[in-house]
Amino acid sequence: MARPYAKMDTFLDTGMITLHHLENSRSQRILWLLEELDLEYEIKHYARDEKTQLAPPELKQVHPLGKSPVLEDKGRMLAESGCIIDYLCRKYGKDWLPRRNSGAYTDCQFWLHYAEGSVMPPLLMQLVFDKVKTAPMPFFIRPIAKGIADKVLSSFVHPNIKTHFDFIEQHLSDKKWFLGNDISAADIQMSFPLSAALSQQQKLADNYPHITAWVKRFQARPAYQRALEQGGEYDYELKSK
């Protein structure tokens, strides 16, 4: 049984790192980082609700937001992927973060915030409005709901996704990793939105070869493969043609 939520400024030493991991979620990238850093950790697994596909209520016993990932380390409870990645790299894997006050450090911080602050919102909106179009509803409402969903998707969501993917594709056109020749915290954070989008939308994978090559590159890493074995169900693997 996971212990109740601990305030961020609590520092009781509870021993091993614990990751509260939800299947098919952003938490998978934290598992990947833990494997890359070769850290000892334990996983508390949580399954999604079969009907709603939402996180189970048990996660609210861990953190008030009831979401995953949540990381416990030496009495500190951390939520939000970007925060967790920054924390783990600063404490256990400094090679994964550029030197503070360098231009590369600023670039890394940009990608840590950009992944969830800019890329994920339109991708989530697409998921929501796609579900609206297929959700059970009275037959006379369906054409109206579908029309509204299609309008929002075509006029706002799809153009925004294209803007972001064009930007990322250009950035990766002359780089192996997001900060250049070496993999970093930026790649860990960006891994979820891009692999999730490309694995679910073949058109994106076809239209953005540099992003696709980058996803295949990190998914081939031994630490990533070990994380898949540890994490359980995960639907966002890019299928090779």
Q: Which residues of the chain have pLDDT under 70?
A: 1-14, 240-241
User: What are the domain boundaries of the chain?
Assistant: 103-221
CB under 8 Å to 17, separation ≥6 — which residues? Answer: 34, 39, 40, 41, 42, 71, 72, 73
Q: Which pLDDT score is estimated for 240?
A: 59
Q: pLDDT tens digit string along 17-38?
A: 999 999 999 999 999 999 999 9
CB under 8 Å to 68, separation ≥6 — which residues? Answer: 20, 21, 22, 25, 26, 27, 46, 55, 59
Task: Give the three-class secondary structure for 10.
Answer: coil
Q: Which pLDDT score is estimated for 241?
A: 53
**Using CA atoms, how far apart are residues 92 and 41, in angstroms rounded to an integer?**
13
Identify the CATH class of 103-221.
mainly alpha
Task: Enter the pTM of the model.
Answer: 0.89
